[in-house]
């Protein structure tokens, strides 16, 4: 259940960017004890027009004392002080007098069972993991990464000067994770109840929808749009892939799609699209995923060169894709970037000051 994706109660929510509009978001990780292995998932009442900042967060993987360019990517949203998300009980009331949180972290990950650690090589095979989208209180996620000694590097996301632009980015992020969750659940229930579906089992409406999807795909290919993981998710491809549908590619795709919507709502010209995933992968990566180690090693120099040319495939370089598209904040001519070691300094202050012992 700790890997469960967030789900939005759209009927119980008030859609829009008005002061009173809000989302009801289920399966938010609001508390956890990593030592004991317990997690509390709750429902939040999240104001729809309350985002103060949005950040692209790189969680750095270390080898010993040395930082690498590998790791994990997430989106972090901080809320205005007077409009913070509220943790609800089963009756829809605040669980306590101080039940508000200051930020949410949205993370696309490989869904795996307890005690099963993520294997990046296995993640090259789309049949290994299902994709999931998890929602955390920011401090909960920071605590986990602090225990694992994984520093954070944060980049402030820049949006066009359009009203509620950051709120729109948050809405798109919620929407995509919710769409993924519903497709995953539908697929699990369909397999459990009906078994494998055949073409004969499809209704006429489903056949018509399938034809429409194929026409849309053909049209997009003719326009040579960047390969888009979002399109694959909405078409039912919910498998995790280390490069094509990963934490990095899905975070970048969310920002890219939201940016287009923001431009169109503000009657601005469509922005350049960012290529969030490559059109093809080196053969060495397929060989590695299939267990052909000898063949993969022979091809590896070419694969490493390919990786250096595709920043979106490497978590540590993914921010460069956003920077080139003008989607990151610049201050005094430099990229607005903050480094947190987390065990000492975090976005929530010095950990030593917060500990009670």
Instruction: Report the C-alpha gap between 354 and 356 in whole angstroms.
Output: 7
pLDDT in tens, the chain (357 residues): 888 999 999 999 998 999 999 999 999 999 988 888 889 999 999 999 999 999 999 999 888 888 887 889 999 999 999 999 999 988 888 888 778 999 999 999 998 888 888 887 777 777 888 889 999 999 999 999 988 899 999 999 999 999 999 999 999 999 999 988 888 777 777 765 665 443 333 344 444 554 555 444 444 444 444 456 667 777 777 888 777 788 988 899 899 999 999 999 999 999 988 877 655 554 444 444 444 444 444 444 444 444 455 555 677 888 988 998 999 999 888 899 999 987 778 899 887 887 787
Torsion of CA 245, 247, 248, 251, to 10 degrees: 100
8 Å CB contact between 313 and 321 = no
Domain range annotation of the chain? 7-354
Residue with tokens 């605590």: 143
pLDDT tens for 165-214 read: 999 999 999 999 998 888 877 777 776 566 544 333 334 444 455 455 54
CB within 8 Å of 345: residues ≥ 6 apart: 351
8 Å CB contact between 312 and 253 = no
pLDDT tens for 69-93 read: 788 999 999 999 999 999 998 888 8
Instruction: Report the C-alpha gap between 57 and 62 in whole angstroms.
Output: 16
Which of 152-169 are b and which e, b meaning 16 or more Cβ less than 10 Å from the residue's Cβ?
Answer: bbbbbbbbeebebbbbbb
Output the CA–CA distances (angstroms, integers) from residue 6 to 35, 67, 98, 187, in the order listed.
24, 31, 23, 16
Instruction: Report the C-alpha gap between 299 and 15 in whole angstroms.
Output: 51
8 Å CB contact between 59 and 74 = yes
The structure's pTM equals 0.82
């Amino acid at each position: 259940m700790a890997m469960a994706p967030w789900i939005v109660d759209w009927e119980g929510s008030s859609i829009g960017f008005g002061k009173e509009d809000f989302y009801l978001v289920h399966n938010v990780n609001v508390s956890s004890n990593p030592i004991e292995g317990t997690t509390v998932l709750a429902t939040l009442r999240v104001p729809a027009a309350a985002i103060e900042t949005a950040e692209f967060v790189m969680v750095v993987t270390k080898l010993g004392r040395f930082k690498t360019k590998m790791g994990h990517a997430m989106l972090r949203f901080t809320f205005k002080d007077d409009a913070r998300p509220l943790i609800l009980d089963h009756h829809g009331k605040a669980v306590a007098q101080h039940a508000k949180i200051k930020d949410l972290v949205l993370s696309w990950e490989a869904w795996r069972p307890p005690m099963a650690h993520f294997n990046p090589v296995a993640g090259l095979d789309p049949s290994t993991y299902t994709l999931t989208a998890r929602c955390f209180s920011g401090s909960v996620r920071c605590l986990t990464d602090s225990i694992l000694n994984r520093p954070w590097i944060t980049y402030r996301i820049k949006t066009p000067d359009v009203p509620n632009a950051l709120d729109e980015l948050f809405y798109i992020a919620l929407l995509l994770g919710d769409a993924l969750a519903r497709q995953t659940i539908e697929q699990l229930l369909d397999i459990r109840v009906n078994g494998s579906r055949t073409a004969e089992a499809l209704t006429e409406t489903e056949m018509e929808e399938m034809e429409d999807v194929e026409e849309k795909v053909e049209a997009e290919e003719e326009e040579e749009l960047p390969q888009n993981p979002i399109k694959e998710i909405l078409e039912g491809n919910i498998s995790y892939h280390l490069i094509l549908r990963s934490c990095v590619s899905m975070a970048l795709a969310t920002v890219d799609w939201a940016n287009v919507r923001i431009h169109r709502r503000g009657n601005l010209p469509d922005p350049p699209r960012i290529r969030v995933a490559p059109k093809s992968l080196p053969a060495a990566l397929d060989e590695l995923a299939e267990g052909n180690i000898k063949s993969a090693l022979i091809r590896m120099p070419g694969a490493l060169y390919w990786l250096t040319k595709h920043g979106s495939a490497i978590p540590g370089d993914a921010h460069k894709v956003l920077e080139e598209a003008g989607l990151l904040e610049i201050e005094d001519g430099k990229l607005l970037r903050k480094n947190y070691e987390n065990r000492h300094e975090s976005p929530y202050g010095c950990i030593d000051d917060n500990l009670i012992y």
